[in-house]
Structure 1
Amino acid sequence: MVLNARNGRGHAPAGRGRPRSTAAAAVAAFALVTASCSDGAGDAEPSVSTASPSASTTGSTGSGGTQVGPVKLTVAGTVATGLQVPWGLAFLPDKSALVAERDSAKLKRIAGGQVTEVGTVPGVDPSAEGGLLGIAVDPQYPTRPYVYAYYSSGSDNRIARLTYSNNSIGSPEVILQGIPMSPIHNGGRLRFGPDGYLYAGTGDGSDRPNSQNDDSLGGKILRITTDGEPAPGNPDNRLWYSKGHRNVQGIAFGGDQLYAAEFGQSTWDELNAIEPGANYGWPAAEGISELDGMVDPIAQWRPSDASPSGIAFAQGHIFMAGLRGGRLWAIPVANGKRTGEPIAFFTRQFGRLRTVEAAPDGSLWLTTSNTDGRGTPKPGDDRILRLTISR
């Protein structure tokens, strides 16, 4: 893992980065990205850590939750087992949770240790990385009894609004379509921000120019109203909030600050602090590249150590689930900057890790992803673990 030494920050918003020959840097960057790293598949490149000396403190916890850094994570129990590729996870005001299964397109409710099916989202077309992906609960629920789902159809990725009442979902009302879709690079994470608007991370749809094309929804973080319109304050009244992303898999807020995790190609996976209108560099940049007018990540990892998916914010840390890395990273952050060294927990203990969410009781829920065709399922997989946080 390599970290940016400048307080974890690369560049300021677009146009204020350190000047550098963009053309030369782009050539160098593309020379590195010759093998594809998608959803943590394959061994494109051995992971060679060039981390700072603090890497000696980076490790996994044992079953008892041995302290390895400023926070301690302990597995307090198993919330659910027998799930099939759980992807999206969102909590309701009554503290129950909804879970989206990627390939089956089923939404399931978890309450009191019981898992029940609440419906199947029609029109979902699963693929290697597509299907029923992120979900989010309307912040005014149950006054507005809606949940929102990001899913792959046969032609594109879409965001739909579904009525959810009496433990059952209604037919989806598509509020946004035309997000580029392919078997890989679909993005898919949804989250409401503290401003009440819906944020969505998208992928480039395996077509790199989408990320820099202002008229494409691919390779972006979208910020929309609950009717699928551009949220007030978006750059140039567009649907997107930031661009230059390869495949955004995790988004989370620490206060008003938005963070996003994304898959790199074969060299660096990224954690970014998101600023409105900023350009995060793909496909010219992968990881810390110091390209003029582009924003560097606040932390980066070799894909074999991460292949990041969902992220959550709690107790001053971004917690980041790793697929190929098979570990949960805790990254201390404040106000869009990294404030300390990332620490890895549970390395290789539970297999591929897909989603992490902060629960209403202050714990974290962590899902495995061993039934996704790229893992090795164990009895009971896929499962949701409950983690407690202490210092």
Structure 2
Amino acid sequence: MTDQIARDETVVIGAGIVGLATAFHLATGGHRVRLVERGGVAEGASFGNAGAFAFTDILPLASPGILRKAPKWLLDPLGPLAIPPSYLPRIAPWLLRFWRASLPDRYRHSIEAQGNLMRFAARAMEAMVAEADLGGHVRRDGNLQLYESEAELAASQPGWDARAREGIVFEHVRGARLAELQPGLSPRFVAGTFTPHWQTVDDPYHFALALFRAVMARGAALTHGEVAAIEPCEGGVRLRLAGGETLEADRVVLAGGAWSRPLAAALGDAIPLETERGYNTTLPPGAFALNRQLTFGGHGFVVTPLSTGIRVGGAVELGGLKLPPNFKRSEAMLTKAAAFLPGLRTEGGKQWMGYRPSLPDSLPVIGTSGASPRVFYAFGHGHLGLTQSAATGRLVADLAAGRTPSIPLDPFRPDRF
């Protein structure tokens, strides 16, 4: 059975935040757009993330610093970075690439590429928020990174120096200034770093749904179904769905997040995509008087004020798509948050786990498939999908229109591995 779709239609696989932003830019540029989504709109990683536009977050996960910490963290199944022992054989090739990405020259290359993408992401997001009328969902209250000792702050300084070279504004704070930015902190925190240009949304799911409505208002269509194969064909691309249906289109954008790897592999593009399983607990509104998002970098999690409550979450568990959730990780972060924020009311929380698509160098894949110039990739953003969604959408729209992309895409090309 074949859906009769005009061959000038562009299909976007995935209605998460990256797929939605891509669909928005394509539709705004005059393309006929169809979203194909295996589940509910924005019900994957876009549903329960920390809600930040983290434009200052340019440091890759693969860094010399994290490699020094990793052995201790990996021994703690509830720590900031964990790999279930049963998953180690499967992830070993990814870990080798991760190690290579942490070498000094590659680390510097990743920072430069991420910084360039983030500067563009800030401009692209501002434009998309204005054009889609999403301003009511965005807060500009900054982020506060917290330290338990002066030694911890000093150890973080090379990262702040790298940010300074990229033009990122920040302020190291102590004493009264620290208390002003966030009253009620445990006295164990002696210093912080405030990044005023960090932004958050009222709730990432609400933001994504508002963007979805803007996409549909521009004439897009939605098909529910799981794509089993992408097949270049004469003059276009054919999609085979798991239920037996077939769709045909002029162009296809693969923005399937953590589920993108096998579809790209079937096209001959071996992309080492792994899955960061992110955990959180969302407490009811009023659980704490939180002024802005707080980052507890030494413990690998953040606490975010949302319109729907207080979200405590983060950390990295590299465990693929099939292992059952380990919600003891959510409980461990919540226990720490209660100690770090005396007075935090921890009852009534809702736990969540989502799959974040992660590449060894912390850079997404944005570019054209080696199998067809009509197939574009837009996935692998890790925990930065919301932050980089508008930029990715703009860049894919450039490629689809045959324009020179707004920034160089060589660092993000699919065949870089």
TM norm structure 2:
0.26
In terms of fraction of residues, the more strand-rich structure is 1
Higher RCO by CA contacts (8 Å cutoff, separation 6 or greater): 2
Larger-gyration structure (1/2): 2
In terms of fraction of residues, the more helix-rich structure is 2
